[in-house]
Amino acid sequence: MNRRWPLTYRMTQILSGHGCFGRYLCHVARKEPTTGCHECGGVEDTAQHTLDECPAFESERRVLTRIVGDDLSLPNLVRRMISSERSWLAVSSFCEEVISRKEAAERERESDRPASLRRRRARPRGGGVPNSAPLYPPLGPGFHNTGTNKAQWIENLTDNR
């Protein structure tokens, strides 16, 4: 496919299901206690729920379906997106509007939680591993890996080839 239009961060969230969705935030990110939809109270908030069902996004959905049609299944949505710039832009607009609202709501919920209940990163940014412990595996026979970080590991890998 010769993609002429950009795939945005928020489009990727809708297309992959990895983003501001209760299911993802509960099971993967572990930032939410349930999979429920904060916008409508639905039992499971997924990308498909957001695209197809959630009443909170009805006006955005109406604009989208006027252009891409009523079938908002992911396979059909992708087919429509690559078929025309107008469809691509409609999907992009839907994703940007809806996901930015969901992100703002998530930030609000996070700031309302007491600091003691906020989820903390398992490791500090930058790896959180002592400099003496190698982060990357040995490169194998004939290769020497003296680096303890990604840049050094890649440098050693490329130097040895």
Domain ranges of the chain: 9-117, 128-161
**88-143 pLDDT tens trace:** 999 999 999 999 999 999 999 888 876 655 554 444 445 444 444 444 445 455 44
Asked if 5 contacts 89 with a C-beta cutoff of 8 angstroms, the reply is yes
Spatial distance between the Cα atoms of 120 and 117, rounded to a whole number of angstroms: 9
> In this model, does residue 154 exceed pLDDT 80?
no
156 pLDDT higher than 60: no
Q: Which residues contact 97 (CB under 8 A, 6 or more apart)?
A: 60
Which parts of the chain fold into alpha helices (H)? 9-16, 22-27, 47-52, 58-68, 74-83, 85-112, 150-159
In which residue are the tokens 């890998």 written? Answer: 157
Angstrom CA distances, 138 to 73, 141, 142, 144, 148, stand at 44, 9, 10, 7, 10
**Residue 129 CB: number of other CB atoms within 10 A?**
13
pLDDT(149) > 60: no
Q: What is the pLDDT of residues 31-67, one digit of tens each?
A: 899 999 999 999 999 999 999 999 999 999 999 999 9
User: What pLDDT, on the 0 to 100 scale, is given for residue 9?
Assistant: 93
Would you put residue 5 in left (φ > 0), alpha (ψ -120 to 50) or beta?
A: beta
- Please give the model's pTM, rounded to 2 decimal places: 0.68
pLDDT tens-digit readout, 6-34: 889 999 999 999 999 999 999 998 889 99
Q: What is the pLDDT of residue 155?
A: 59
Residue type, 47: A
